[in-house]
Structure 1
Amino acid sequence: ISAYNGSIKLPDMWSDVQSFKDSVQKIRYDNHYREIRDHQANVDFVKGTTSFLSDSTLEVSGEQSFTASSGNIVIGTGADPFIPDLPGSSLALTSDNIFAYKSSIGQLPGSIILIGGGYISIEIADMLAPFGIELTIIQSHDRLLPGMDKAISDEALRLMSGKHVSVIFNGKVKEISKSGKMKIVKLMDGDEEKILSAEEVVMATGRRPHIKGIGLEKTTVKTLNNSIVVDSHMRTSRQNIFATGDVIGRSMLFHAAVKESVIAARNIEGKQNYVMNFSAIPFTLFSYPELGSVGYTEADVINMGIDYEVVSQSLEGDAQSQIFRQRDGWFKIVIEKDGGRILGFQTFAHDGADLVAYFTAAIENGMTAKALAMSCEPHPTTFEAIPSSLRKYL
């Protein structure tokens, strides 16, 4: 955007961004419908709502209304944006208003307050900062991305600071109100009360599994912390009922739901015993550069009592990072000291998602540092830095 500030009107660019987003989402939805059509011989697709009548019977209401019984049932009801119970919360937007198909933000606001310091807030701020919007993140914790490795959290803060996004830590929002065209946020910053104003407020406080209204109380399926409890085979407490995706409250990401669903389907077939490895679910924050992680962090392995070592690698000397002018990138690899098994990986890089995918396969398949050190990666790609960083294991 900065390269074209003199010749492009930002509101027009925002309209183009939304149109492009919608066009891609339309392609994706068409793909999903085509997948259903490709399996029409074995799949009946019904638009409507469903509620359990028992552990084996469902009531369906919609284009068709009927009851259905099955030997196996999979629950995949997803999650909804979590809206804290505070005065004026209905005035706030959610990520759905920004990213959903045909989303409702037609014009760019001049200022936005983002409540929450997780990946949703950071991705929104990173996307909107180049448009010159005044952005403020209110985080209730003492750092961004509190569930991630601290190096990732620190890098996220540096990224936000570099893009002139204000961040308030340990902020407790008390109330949202409206005054004219502005929305007012009252919060406690430590012992001090603060009042902030912006044209829009976005509630980015996470998502909550959707378990209400589906009749779970009529089943023997157990829940915990508003999530359906499953084992590593994706089975619930009821042998014939499986649950996958956001509704289980773990690794609430699209790709995790896909893998969990494959595990459930194969176990329903009963041909082989498939197990879900939750530690091999990759996380990527699509800022630029990208932040990513898969497997265990240093804090995780310390808590688990595992003897480990870390290989840290700067990407300053990496050829592709130099080409993309992103020489401040890095990655670190958490390695089991006894045996050299790859346990975890974290990165900040222009192609962080690709690097995380590489290590997802390594962790899923129990690969060792020596095996990766022997790999030959194409030049010029960031992957070259992986065997280079691990040569001491040869």
Structure 2
Amino acid sequence: MSYDLIVIGSGPGGYVAAIRASQLGLKTAIVEKESLGGICLNWGCIPTKALLKSAQVFEYINHAADYGITINGEGAVNFDAVVKRSRGVADGMSKGVQFLMKKNKIDVIMGFGKLKGKGVVEVKAEDGKTQDISAKHIILATGGRSRELPNLKQDGKKIIGYRQAMALPKQPKSLVVVGSGAIGIEFAYFYNAIGTQVTVVEFLPNVVPLEDEEVSKQLERSLKKQGINIMTNSTVESVDTSGDLCKVSVKTAKGTEVLEAEIVLSAVGIATNIEGIGLEEVGVKTDKGKVLVDEFYRTNVEGVYAIGDIVMGQALAHVASAEGITCVEKIAGHHPEPINYNNIPGCTYCSPEVASVGYTEKAAKEAGYEIKVGKFPFSASGKASAAGAKDGFVKLIFDAKYGEFLGAHMIGFNVTEMIAECVVARKLETTGMEIIKSVHPHPTMSEAIMEAAAAAYGEVIHI
């Protein structure tokens, strides 16, 4: 079987690349070892959002009286039904990708794909049978998996990764989450909201350590208020799983503390899936677990490309999709603009939500900018008050000299939907004054962006 393009991996990088290739007239095949849609659709972005929605609904029920609503009896979590709904959402999305493959006349070949030689991919099916397919261009989009620490080996039962955390056989009474990036914090919020006792252990001084420091500190306050135990500047040294409960030895500034929990969730980042896919055989260069590529995702081997979690850049679904489109458009002879990795939004879907793009205040100063910073608290927002969601703020950072929009950092209700305005504004090289003079609708959460810009320039009205 011969193609113009073969894509190995059908996550949000791979399947999007395949569709764009088909749109551009390339005869395309996609190789997938498990489920169309990859981790994101099946075990990541989508099913976690379904779990988080269930937690949010449960919180609404528990706080209905705050909105003047009386509910007779108590709400209760049916953990099996919550997980079942999440899996159903994931299955529906995966079926949607199957439909898109048929619609775009993309051949789907199930099995483990491996580079075999110039322009050749060997596909090994579940039954062990192999077949060779060929193409002038091959894109590697094999993604990542939960990273394991040497002292925190996952057994899938008591010490688990994100995948098991989405479909546990029963709700744990207690949970220790190791790592406070987006994955760790989202699961900590979900399980705490449905009644599990949760402790988060973070090696660095702040939770969500990649975010602006003020956002991190606000999130820690909010999570503690919800009942989550937060331990920063702390390291898990060992876990004893021999008893009914895990005994987690945590080294803190004050000494070693032993925590007990039914389950330990390791959320310390991801490892790339680059083993066994033929990189060494064909001579593709890697460094520290990442495939080396240029700005259009070409490896050092002609005709072989790589995108998504296995290359440098943020390990995010929307980044992989953008990389796939850029890569394919270059292959097809177009002239795509290289991706600006400093204008990639990051989102964490706990409650309150966190969203950001561009420079943090610290990074802007380290880059040599003289800056103007504006903050607008949601406690001063009419829409936030009406929604009962006054936690958090919008913080914008501008270059003092030219008004360049350097960064946006938000924590609050629904801010993951608001951050796109800032991404587009930065792409269009909008200045602070242009944001102030762009009339925002009232009452909305999004007008906090305009107010924060005004605060940076001493023109804020509502605080």
Larger displacement relative to structure 2 (289-298 or 228-237)? 228-237
Q: What is the match of residue 162 of structure 2?
A: 95
8 Å CA contact retained: 1:95, 1:202: yes
Q: What is the match of residue 150 of structure 1?
A: 213
RMSD of the alignment, in Å?
2.2
1:172 CA drift (Å): 2.3
8 Å CA contact retained: 2:159, 2:265: yes
Among 168, 182, 205, the alignment partner of 2:268 is: 205
8 Å CA contact retained: 1:279, 1:296: yes
8 Å CA contact retained: 2:249, 2:257: yes
Q: What is the match of residue 19 of structure 1?
A: 84
1:80 CA drift (Å): 0.7
Q: What is the match of residue 356 of structure 1?
A: 419
Q: Provide, for residues 225-260 of structure 1, a one-character-per-residue CA deviation record: whole Å limited to 9, x for no partner.
A: 211122332223335322211111421111111111
Between the two proteins, the alignment pairs up a number of residues equal to 387
8 Å CA contact retained: 1:284, 1:353: yes
Q: Are 1:37 and 2:92 counterparts?
A: no
Q: What is the match of residue 84 of structure 1?
A: 149
Q: Provide, for residues 249-305 of structure 1, a one-character-per-residue CA deviation record: whole Å limited to 9, x for no partner.
A: 421111111111111111111121331111111111101121111111122222222
Q: Distance in 2 between matches of 1:88 and 1:233?
A: 36
8 Å CA contact retained: 1:277, 1:364: no
Q: Are 1:302 and 2:365 counterparts?
A: yes
Which residue type is aligned with residue 76 of structure 1?
A
Which residue type is aligned with residue 203 of structure 1?
S
1:204 CA drift (Å): 1.0
Q: Residue 316 of structure 1 aligns to a residue in which SS?
A: helix
Q: Distance in 2 between matches of 1:189 and 1:331?
A: 32
Q: What is the match of residue 224 of structure 1?
A: 287
8 Å CA contact retained: 2:405, 2:432: yes
Q: Are 1:315 and 2:381 counterparts?
A: no
1:89 CA drift (Å): 4.0
Summarize the alignment of residues 172-321 of structure 1 with structure 2, pairs less than 5 Å apart: 172-190=235-253, 192-321=255-384
Q: Provide, for residues 294-321 of structure 1, a one-character-per-residue CA deviation record: whole Å limited to 9, x for no partner.
A: 1111222222223322222222222211
- Note the residue ranges of structure 2 that are not aligned, 5 or more in a row: 1-57, 65-70
Larger displacement relative to structure 2 (381-390 or 322-331)? 381-390
Q: Distance in 2 between matches of 1:141 and 1:219?
A: 39
1:9 CA drift (Å): 5.8
Q: Residue 241 of structure 2 aligns to a residue in which SS?
A: strand
1:11 CA drift (Å): 4.3
Q: Residue 276 of structure 1 aligns to a residue in which SS?
A: coil
Q: Provide, for residues 106-136 of structure 1, a one-character-per-residue CA deviation record: whole Å limited to 9, x for no partner.
A: 2111111111122212111111212221111
Q: Residue 231 of structure 1 aligns to a residue in which SS?
A: coil
Normalising by structure 1, we get a TM-score of 0.91
Q: Distance in 2 between matches of 1:239 and 1:169?
A: 46
Q: What is the match of residue 7 of structure 1?
A: 73
Q: Distance in 1 between matches of 2:408 and 2:302?
A: 35
8 Å CA contact retained: 1:122, 1:160: no
1:354/1:196 CA distance change after superposition, 3 Å? same
1:339 CA drift (Å): 2.5
1:187 CA drift (Å): 2.9
Q: Residue 154 of structure 1 aligns to a residue in which SS?
A: helix
Larger displacement relative to structure 2 (77-86 or 168-177)? 168-177
- Note the residue ranges of structure 1 that are not aligned, 5 or more in a row: none
Among 107, 116, 123, the alignment partner of 2:179 is: 116
Among 382, 385, 389, the alignment partner of 2:445 is: 382
Normalising by structure 2, we get a TM-score of 0.78
Among 194, 197, 218, the alignment partner of 1:134 is: 197
Q: Residue 196 of structure 1 aligns to a residue in which SS?
A: strand
